[in-house]
Structure 1
Amino acid sequence: MPCADNRDGVLRLIEHLLTAEVYNTNPQLDLDDLPPQCRTLFLPGPDAAEVKRPVVITEGLLKRAGGPSDDLLKDLVKNPFVEFDTLKLQYHLTDLHAAAVWFATHGGKEMMEKNPALAFYVGDYDSLEVKYEEVRAKNPRFADSRAYLDHKIASLTAKDEKMAEALELVIVNAPAEIEQQMDGIVCTGDQIDVIRRIRTAIENRDFLKEHNIAEVGKLLFVGPPGTGKTSLALAISHELHMPVLEVRLSMVTSQYLGETSKNIDRIFDLARSISPCILFIDEFDFVAKSRVSDDHGAMKRAVNMLLKNIDKVSLVKNGVLLIGATNHPQLLDQAAWRRFDEVVEFDLPDETMRAAILRTITRTLACECDLDAVAERTEGFSGADLKMTVKEAVLSALMDGRRTVSQQDIEGAFAQVANRSVIRGCSWG
């Protein structure tokens, strides 16, 4: 009998064989029917966006999947329905039905519940209770993956080298790379309503375009630092399945001021080319500061170029959701302010919201704390401050050899974070 590790390894290899066979014989299946591990294995390269049929499982391909040992490969061919062609160094199944039944009854059912291709094949087996539609709905979409985004970017840069220059000015993340998700954020009712309106606009883009309603999807997030502006922008990327291009305007300013206008143009061109996507512009108050306080003509032209580009970009027409963020809304003049159709406030959380934030942050922790009491005492704390408080409390417990956070841990952490705020308000010199 193979050991448990070998048994699990053989199951994973047989999953690859089964998936390839089902995918080859059912042309209606697409990349979203392949689980990420099979998708990565079957794609011919990191920049590829298509799995060509037939998928052939070679020894080299399996070794790419995680380098199975010779013993593991020997255990694989001990199964009566697995055959190895020693001439072509290829593995194939002699009986797909028998292999699927064996797989399901020898520990593979859980894998089937995460593999849409296999769920499709066994969907008629009532005894397994594996529902194809449910499995596919939970499977990460290929269009959300880094591989798909890299393929799209490679196609753009091959056609236009200016796109490569633009990529150096932004941070680009695929939806699947975004760790921040909506269930980890406590939103206000107004913030949730804005997201619903954006989702509705995306789902009805053709209708809005037909009726020339294009001024939708330019959001300005305003509020103090640490209140969740960047977190929500990233979570929206994950929620709406749109890659996010993050740019800080202060970093776009070139030492050669004549390049700044070109940099701004390149960023907006890149967003339109990658669309649908989110263009997230942080430090948007940089526009106002430059417009008001800088006498350099080139910089003023660059600011005007930014405002013109904002005028031209559209969620409805171009598929670009524009989000600007600022800690200093009072610095924005009317020219900048009126470019946005939605202003979304991020205030410091009140007591009820602080309690909800604390419960969200600690939802995976063993926590013997009175979170309502902590919320009551943390007036003036931002969401970031509360997250730091919990982090310090966890570290305190771990240093004491515990994995349960106590009220004492929270009290000590609260004092540390409050002291940081006092120091931040000091001035020397």
Structure 2
Amino acid sequence: MRVIGLISGTSVDGIDAAWVTLTGTTFDLSVEVVGSATYAYPDELRSQILRVCHGEPISLPDLAALDDAIAHQFAQAAIALQAAHGPVDLIGSHGQTVFHRPPGQGADLGYTVQLGRGEAIAHQTHCTTVSNFRAADMAAGGQGAPLVPPIDACLLSHPKYHRCVQNLGGIGNVAYLPPRPLQQTDHPETLAAYRQQVRGWDTGPGNVLIDLAVYHLSNGQQTYDQDGAWAASGTVQDALVEQWLQQDFFHAPPPKSTGRELFGQAYLEQCLADAAAYHLSPADLLATLTDLTAASIAHSYQTFLPCLPDQVVLCGGGSRNRYLHQRIQAHLPTCEVMTSDDIGMPADAKEAIAFAILAYWRTQGIPGNLPDATGASHAVLLGDLHHAL
């Protein structure tokens, strides 16, 4: 099946789109990446999304207009990718998360909002579209995140190595993949037992605090730290990192998920207040915030994994931050830290590929969540199906 996957993550830095051909089902799944691209939001639309993510009130008519505007941008991304590489049979659109409340925060069930409604994308592209992937898992008592670990298990597990696939979007999340006996992939009981060993959760901030700090320190002239060069020119204040690691989220056991609701502008402002006593330069502050992401990842592995991995596979936009890569390696010296590019999976397009697969699984009647990762009571079909008329 020919499928386009679409997602804009917590960083709100554009729509990642991947055009793939899929065959097989789960552990025999085969993916050919035909093309991928990132399509930037118009500046005003991005600003409006970020204001909503930061908690600015919005009326229902304005929310509806924002939902339609995001859907239009997602549809245009799919149309552009098809113009470059040909028509597809299916679109899987994650949409744009603007609110995420995990279960247990004053309610039995979690609540999540991804704007960019699938029915509008199906209407504009004339292509069947699957959207709203997280809701079904949350209805089953899950976190609605992370959703990628079962895909990582099918595509990126190794017969000998324990692997952690670490996504570095605005928020960081991990999929822990123990070695998988490839010679037994045709035994359903063996594969079911393997899936029960796979784990996944949100580790904390990925790029979000770094990007917010760059914007603040550059007076709005920069939105991210290119290659981590600015942070690399500074010095980490270890005492601050240790102080920040005492935050409750880092010590809560999985399954767990988070977002800008916790690690957003208000959190950055608290970090800036904590740092004031140290009189840090901008470069030192960026180095310290970057190290928080790296240290929180290492802390998460050391605290919640059955063993440290042999390999850490980085993906997402943060995998391009060389300084962050170096800090993760420094905190996990016994692990081989690489990017998913090194094992044949495009790091920038990996999340978009994942939602193409989840859409494909939805049409095949294959449950898309991993209850041991999300905390759901059982495996469920993910996504709402919208047929093009």
TM-score by length of 1: 0.25
Which structure features the higher share of strand residues? 2
- Considering fraction of residues, name the structure with more helix: 1
Find the structure with the greater CA-based Rg: 1
Higher relative contact order (CA 8 A, sep 6+): 2
